[in-house]
Structure 1
Amino acid sequence: MSTTTATPPAVTDEEAVTAADAFDRMAAAIESVARCDPVTVRLLLTAFAGGGHVLLEDLPGMGKTTLARALAAVTGGTVRRVQCTPDLLPSDVTGVTIFNQDTREFEFHPGPVFANVVIVDEINRTSPKTQSALLEVMQEEQVTVDGVAHRVPRPFLVVATQNPVEMQGTFPLPEAQLDRFLMRLSLGYPGEEAELSLMRGRSLPAADRLAPVLDAAEMGRLGGIAERVAFADPVYEYVLRLAQRTRRHPRLRAGVSMRASIALCRAARMHAVADGRGFVTPDDVKALAVPVWGHRLVPLSGAAAAGEAAELLDALLAEVPVPGPDGRPR
């Protein structure tokens, strides 16, 4: 007896317009309290709605924490912050089981990862042992303590920050840890008018006071719409050709993994939803290649700096033929 898998219904025009409107409203709310590039805000929302995690690589004092708090506020979620130090223990992040003298039973006390948005500040300042405590929760959205698995709330996003300049006293993230991040983003400096306004003491509204735009259920519906976005075979093949080029590049010790290819396809679906479309185009892939793949490249010289990764991927995007409307490269 043969079984067939039902094809999910295509994304309707009404669903696409509604989803794009939700992204626009969330982005507008975040931009009202965080002075950063609108493109970065939309990429962060794309990662969150798509179930991915983000590594913010930037200088101190650029508004990374404010951006993460604003993201939690517009989605009605909770936010917790972990300040990484060399003596931070894995149990300080995940939680610990403590014996209750009154009940004569062991009780689990959850750590700061039990929130919708978890800010892991200066992740490369803590030891590899503590860094590895985040691997399970970032991949499986659960924490195992004393053999018992504890689910974290959904939606769940880890926003980790690291300083790209000051390297003393840091522990570089291993490739396995970097691969858990869907995107690596940078806020950059604000525009001149925005910085002048802040220098004059005109403070922005507090991120925590933002009214929720969507709740957890509505964020889940966005993810459901993204799963039904049409992804044509020529675009899949385009992603594969790009991935294969990274694996054969003379300046790279290792190209992107299969997980990275899947991550780019998943992010491209959500990127299309944010743009009000029910189908993925090669432009979605181009827009996401650097933030999704840049931190996963391993150059011969060592870890990939953001600028070097962007240069390599931009060159590959210019070399690999883009599929046309008929599916053939052009």
Structure 2
Amino acid sequence: MIEVNELSKKYYTFERGHTMREVIKTLVHRPMKEICAVDRISFKIEQGEMVAFLGPNGAGKSTTLKMLTGVLHPTSGEVRSLGLVPWKQRREYVRRIGAVFGQKSQLIWDIPPSDAFYMNKAIYSISDKDYAETLDELVELLQVGDVMRKPTRQLSLGERMKCEFIMAMLHRPELVFLDEPTIGLDMIAKENIRSFIRSMNKRKVTFILTTHDLEDVELLAERVMVINHGQIVVDDSLNGLRNRLGNKKSVRLTTEQPVPDSLPAGLKLLERIGPLEVELEIDTSALALKPFISQFNESYGIIDMAIEALPIEAVMKQLYEQSHTPVHSV
């Protein structure tokens, strides 16, 4: 569905001095600085995949997605998405893609969502039959029948986000870009949105997700791509990401005696939840679970313990901190 080959984007900006002398000099000659936002990245995405595209601020993910949607022209490289070049065949391309931006609304503030939906019907030239069928199906899936005729400004954030998804899906796109789709939502609204995304994905709709809510990644994504310093540093499954960091586990302990900050090799304090409750990271390649449990019970007295896979937040933090040298998937 998407094939990216050696894609790069460079920006040029002018540097301005801080002192009065430097400012005056820049009036005559302003030094130009080249910024490589995306540096020769290549990847493929198949139809029906659910891909999380992640990276720290300034890593290049937004620039990449803007090129994939056709908003930006690359400096060099190639993109074929749905068989089209996004920035060259934009009119045809945008009819086949959708987008949901958690921080930018497609709805119109003073009119009901139902009127905005009808506007999209005209924009995408959707037939009356297809429009009615799709709208009825999406309204039922998202359970927004009672809010569609309220002005958008009167909707809660959760109701508005559900209507944003209807706006994005009315023309039945094959590829959907999600940018922070659950930002600011409560737990129930998040689960409703995630359930809808999963149901659409089962119908072979391809999703590319960017988010800082790593719970979205854990509950939705099958594949994770991490970009840093303009390069793809990881392209793997969620389990594959954890395996890259070795045999590490998260251990939550409640003890009779407080656990100190200074810990032996193979252990790392992730969080101090309370005076007698901590979350640790254990590297089982350096410290096996059986002796760890025995030693901790003898030293601090274990009241309760839970051992789980390393939290995705800890995995991503370590990946961001590592070198930006690309690591190819196996």
**Bin of the TM-score, shorter chain as denominator length:** 0.3 to 0.5
Query: What TM-score do the two structures reach when normalised by structure 2?
Result: 0.35
* TM-score, L = length of structure 1: 0.35
Structure with a larger share of its residues in strand = 2
Q: Which has the higher helix share?
A: 1
Bigger radius of gyration, 1 or 2? Answer: 2
